[in-house]
Structure 1
Amino acid sequence: MNQQLEQQWLEQFKRYLQIEKGCSPHTLLNYTRDILAFYTFMRREGLDSLSDVTYADLRVYLSELFAQEYARKTVSRRLSSMRSFAHFLKREQLLEENVFAQASLPKAESRLPQFLYEEEVDQLFAGIKGDEPLDLRDRAILELLYATGIRVSECATLQLTDLDVSIGTLLVYGKGKKERYVPIGSCAIQALNAYISSGRPHLAAKSTIPTKELFLNYRGTVLSERSYRTILKKRMNQAALYHEMSPHKLRHSFATHLLNNGADLRVVQELLGHVNLSTTQVYTHVSKDRLRDVYLDHHPRA
């Protein structure tokens, strides 16, 4: 299998993912990396074509990944990427057999999502003091992430027109270009109003290029996804909360706190933008304090 043909097939697959499946740039990047990694394995093993790959070759590849101590989730994703790629090539009559469909995906590790306790969330927000433009922006970002549970990728593409503070709703463009409306609480609305009226105009004035994006950096241009992690880490340190923290943990906290306080699982599924209910069910864990409270309230001999 020559490298020119490899690249041609990969480009066809990427167009299919982008146009027919509506995959995000992040998903396309993961597929590309996984397929290129398998191409590298093929060349090392002297396999000239995907049609030459046998189940035994696949077992060798998976064994190598585990030997290199890749997480089960990563191994599963790599196999799933190749399975989808081979399925596409078979559909296009470029491949006769999908050998990747013969291998079962590694069982995922059952790790609960990490989250902040409600008291820690209060501490985080209390630590954001000041009325400088960046203070107003950071407070609005964190309040919005926690109030809505949206992904950072979704937050980074928000425009001013997606927000309606008068009725407290936000139009979110999720995975697969799917749209959903999510409500916004009063604390987030207050923070957003302060940022939009007093913070954003100062930041926007730093750039000669007008932008419709909601959140801007100190240069007045669009805030990158990576910057959200930096902002959160900075604000966590200021609040003396020394967690391994990511913006996604606020999404976990959003879902956990809703369910712990009695929200319906399907409502939380809709708010998070999950296609399958099973994805949302990972948040049905409860804190030790919540377990103890429910036990004391409901057990007849507690």
Structure 2
Amino acid sequence: MQKSKKTITEHIKDFLEYCDVEKGLGYKSQETYARFLKKFSDWFSSQNLQSLKPHELDDQHIWDYRLFLSQTLHKTTKEPLKRSTQNYYLIAVRSLLSFFTERNILSLPADKIKLIREKEERKVKFLNLEQLKKLLAAPNSSTNAGLRDRAILESFFSTGLRVAELVSLDREQIKISSDTTQLEVVITGKGGRVRPVYFSERAVNALKEYLKTRRDDEKPLFINYRGPKNASKRLSARSIENIVKQYALRAGVPSFTTPHTLRHCLSPTTRIVLRDGIVSARDLYFKTSAEVQALEWAGFQFQNLTLKERSYHITPLLSLWAGGYNLLCSPNHRLFTIGKKGIEEKQARELKIGDYVMGVKKITIQGKPFVHPRFARILGYIYGDGTVSRARRAVLLTDKNKEMLKSYMNWINELFYVVPTLKKSKVSNSWQLTVYNAELVEFLLQIGFEPGANGRRMPKEMLSAPLNELAEFLAGFYDAEGNSGNIRIFSSSVELLKDVQMGLLRFGIDSHLNWRNRTVILPQKRLFSHKFYTLHILHKPDQELFLEHIKTFKRRFLNVEKHFQGQKLPVGPLLEVIRKDTTRKKIQWIQALRRNYSINDIGRYIEKLNPSRKTVQHIVQQLEDAGYNSQYLAQLKKIAYADTIQWLKLHEKTKVSSSPRYSVYDFGISRWHGNLITDGFISHNSFATDLLSQGVDLRLIQEFLGHKNPATTQIYAHVTSKQLRDVHRQFHSGKNLK
């Protein structure tokens, strides 16, 4: 890190250029950053700190600035700035500090700036159906401005457009003829993302009536009828916000009504299992067709079902850590637990530490050949600890084990007819194997090899390759990043280890992902702190499977546990119901359980401990022998003998806080088998339009999605394909508003 000679204020201009050129932020975002950082710069001036350089900024300066923000009054309300507003100013400063780090400029670390916690979690507010009717009927349709305003409200309700997106619409985009009843318009939204939006029949009719009144040649769709003649006629975002608030007041609907009230669960990187591969949620979203694997509830076996619907939206994210697996999902995302009636659904927001959720034990897919198995072994090592240099047209492998690198050298020579160089490293007690091959370098870059270890991922194709290729890749990866002794793999990339974890599940190997904060001393004698991830294989059966399938050079140095008690099943709630039911029916079985299977205290499995699978099977057998028959026993028996699933104990649940809103994806499959394999979890697919298209009651969908009323569910059911357009026409036409 270098000390800069420029002041922080001078660097702000560089940062804004960086936002424009390198980050590609839109004009509005750049304008916002400039405004927030101007306050920071003005505060410097007021404190005679204009000459402060990045390396001179310290914790006390940040504290003083936060104190200044907390005492600043809003220009209009004369009230102190809201906590959320203060956070916006702090986020801008934090981004500036991150820019310094990226430019190798010595300064205060960005993570030193902690955001202010909100007293209450911000919630999306909704209008009910009656309120929505009143709001849409509020404009006076006998005036040009009233017709315009009605078209604005109907467009918001139908499309879910943001205010800025509605403002930017031009007349030429709205191609309406006399017989037009539905309209699809492609818009460029926030972040430059292109997406189609759909105008219902009500919205189209409102636009027709409004456009009949237009006798001008102005380009904007919605124009201002007031103001100077030479001024822009395009309505501003503030004007539209005021229009919505004006009609909300007139209609007597809640004061929180804004344009956002008229618009509305998996992370893009989530791995989803298909019939023929494993893909990310984002890649699945863009696939033209796919068959996903879903758990069939009758026998707990997996089957392939056609993906019917898909949806994309923005939401906060939760990070769930359970049984060594990690899932990023929306708070409304549903997982499966064991309750008093057997398998039950529960939203991620409702899960508590200590709850168990359903996971998959083994993944079986039809693999697609990718590369020669020996090349897969080399790729595994490169992805573990390799360096790729396009400038040098070289791949570098480093290890202390010279003999192992000699084996890789021979394999590379056999495959590519090149002779790598093997030399002692000048800076460490290691050997370095250098492969000069431009084609190999280009291939690695083409399949997505990331130079930085933090962002590295397995090649998409390798995760779906045949088992012999995948086994070789994992062996090479373990050669580079694996431990001797206990079976553990290390990496600074959590997504890379989650890829490896899914790959291991294809062999039926259960592994546990953990993380810790680590501080290391860099060669420049500078301390560097970061999160470090470890993938453990803990249990004897999984360790034996690993040694059987993954032929790493370190196999003979790896330990295997001596004992394994079997998987634990969290069936306490179900056992409690069964004990009460058998007592009520006067069925005697507990004494026989003690006598036949030495299970002396059934109560401890209800209140404290989780029994092993074998113990639950004994309980089932004894209940059947006693003549007990019920739906509860049927559920218990299915769980006891299901070898395709496992139960993961939730040990951490946190909000993903680096940004308040994230892109997420929903998928729809079968009405009766609504689940997917997602990063090792069995997830409910919560796609509302899928349920609508199959005639499921709207109130049930409302409950699934956590909405307060059916009108909200209609408003938030976004669609993106021809079939979804049909659903929009059927269910989002506004017929209920008539």
User: 1:217 — aligned with what?
Assistant: 224
Q: 1:232 to 1:62 in 2, by over 3 A?
A: same
**SS of the residue aligned with 2:247?**
helix
Aligned to 1:73: 84
Aligned partners of 1:245 and 1:38: how far apart in 2?
Answer: 32
Does residue 230 (structure 1) correspond to residue 245 (structure 2)? The answer is no
Residue in structure 1 matched with residue 708 of structure 2 by the alignment:
287
Per-residue deviation, 1:168: 1.8
1:27-66 superposed matches below 5 A? 27-47=29-49, 48-66=52-70
Question: In 1, distance between residues paired with 2:164 and 2:82?
Answer: 23
Change (3 A) 1:276 1:105: farther
Moved more, 219-228 or 173-182: 219-228
Residue 162 (structure 1) aligns with: 173
2:106 corresponds to: 96
Query: In 2, Cα distance between the equivalents of 1:60 and 1:237?
Result: 41
Q: TM-score by structure 2 length?
A: 0.32
Amino acid at match of 1:42: F
For 1:59, the aligned partner's letter is W
Q: Which residue of 2 aligns with 1:269?
A: 313
CA distance in 1, matches of 2:62, 2:46: 13
Letter in 2 for 1:277: V
In structure 2, distance between residues paired with 1:266 and 1:39: 46
CA distance in 2, matches of 1:287, 1:265: 24
Whichever residue aligns with residue 218 of structure 2, its letter is T
Q: 1:102 to 1:186 in 2, by over 3 A?
A: same
Aligned residue number for residue 259 of structure 1: none
Contact kept in structure 1, 2:69 and 2:81, CA below 8 Å? yes
Kept in 2, the 8 Å contact 1:53–1:99? The answer is no
Find 2:206's aligned residue among 178, 191, 213.
191
Q: Which amino acid aligns with 1:147?
A: S
Query: Does structure 2 retain, via aligned residues, the 8 Å contact 1:112–1:285?
Result: no
1:144–1:188 CA contact under 8 A, matched in 2: yes
CA displacement, residues 77-112 of structure 1 (integer Å, 9 cap, x when unaligned): 22221121122234334x313433323333344021
Name the CA distance, whole Å, in 1 between partners of 2:7 and 2:66: 24
Deviation at 1:5, TM superposition (A): 5.6
Superposition CA RMSD, Å: 3.2
Find out whether 1:248 has 2:260 as its counterpart: yes
User: After superposition, what is the alpha-carbon deviation per residue over 1:134-191, rounded to whole angstroms, capped at 9, x for unaligned?
Assistant: 2221111110011111111111111123335555212222122222111222211111
Distance 1:211 1:81, change over 3 A: same
Partner of 2:97: 86
Is structure 2 residue 116 aligned with structure 1 residue 106? yes
CA distance in 2, matches of 1:66, 1:266: 44
Percent identity over paired residues = 26
- In 1, Cα distance between equivalents of 2:26 and 2:309: 26
Q: Tell me the amino acid that sits aligned with residue 24 of structure 2.
A: G
| Structure 2: distance between partners of 1:265 and 1:88 | 40
Work out which of the two has the higher radius of gyration on C-alpha atoms and give 1 or 2: 2
- Give 1:222 deviation, angstroms: 1.4
1:175 to 190, 194, 216: 190
Q: CA deviation at 1:266?
A: 6.8
For structure 1, the 5+ residue unaligned runs are: 205-209, 253-263, 279-283, 291-302
Looking at structure 1, the residues matched to 66 and 55 of structure 2 have their Cα atoms a distance apart, in angstroms, of 18
Count matched residues.
Answer: 260
Code of the residue aligned with 1:178 in structure 2: it is: R
Aligned to 1:281: none
The SS at the match of 1:134 is helix
| Distance of 2:309 and 2:88 partners within structure 1 | 26
What is the alpha-carbon distance in structure 2 between the residues aligned to residue 236 and residue 265 of structure 1? 35
| Alpha-carbon distance between aligned partners in 2 of 1:268 and 1:115, rounded to the nearest angstrom | 20
Distance 1:233 1:150 in 2: 17
Matches within 5 A, 1:107-122: 107-108=117-118, 109-122=120-133
Instruction: Please report the TM-score for the alignment, with normalisation by the length of structure 1.
Output: 0.73
8 Å CA contact 1:18–1:24 kept in 2: the answer is yes
Indicate if the aligned counterparts of 1:21 and 1:176 stay in contact, CA closer than 8 A. no
How far is the alpha carbon of 1:215 from its aligned partner?
0.9
Measure, in 2, the Cα distance between the counterparts of 1:53 and 1:193.
58
- Residue 161 (structure 2) pairs with residue 150 (structure 1): yes
| Residues 61/7 of structure 1: CA separation in 2 closer, same or farther (3 Å cut) | closer
Give, in angstroms, the shift of residue 269 of structure 1.
0.8
- The answer to whether the Cα contact below 8 Å between 1:55 and 1:100 also exists between their aligned partners in 2 is no
- Give 5+ residue unaligned stretches, structure 2: 1-5, 73-79, 265-307, 316-660, 666-704, 712-738
**Residues 270, 82 of structure 1: CA spacing in aligned structure 2 closer, same or farther, 3 A cutoff?**
closer
Equivalent position amino acid for 2:136 in 1:
F
Counterparts of 2:194 and 2:257 in 1: how far apart (Å)? 28
Maintained 8 Å contact 1:128/1:135: yes
CA shift for structure 1 position 277: 3.0
- Aligned pair in 2 of structure 1 residues 194, 288: CA closer, same or farther (>3 Å)? closer
Q: Secondary structure at the match of 1:180?
A: strand
Q: CA deviation at 1:73?
A: 1.9
Q: Could you tell me which residue of structure 1 aligns to residue 566 of structure 2?
A: none
SS of the residue aligned with 1:269? strand
Amino acid at match of 1:29: E
Distance (Å, rounded) in 2 between the aligned partners of 1:174 and 1:55: 38
Structure 1 residues 155 and 114 mapped into 2: Cα distance closer, same or farther (>3 Å)?
Answer: same
Moved more, 153-162 or 104-113: 104-113
Residue pair 2:151, 2:203 contacting (<8 A) in 1 also: yes
Instruction: Tell which deviates more after alignment, 140-149 or 54-63.
Output: 54-63
- Give the counterpart letter for 2:311 in structure 1: V
Structure with higher helix content? 1
Query: Any idea what SS the aligned residue of 2:263 has?
Result: helix
Report Cα offsets for 1:248-282 as digits up to 9, x if no partner: 22225xxxxxxxxxxx99726179xx75239xxxx
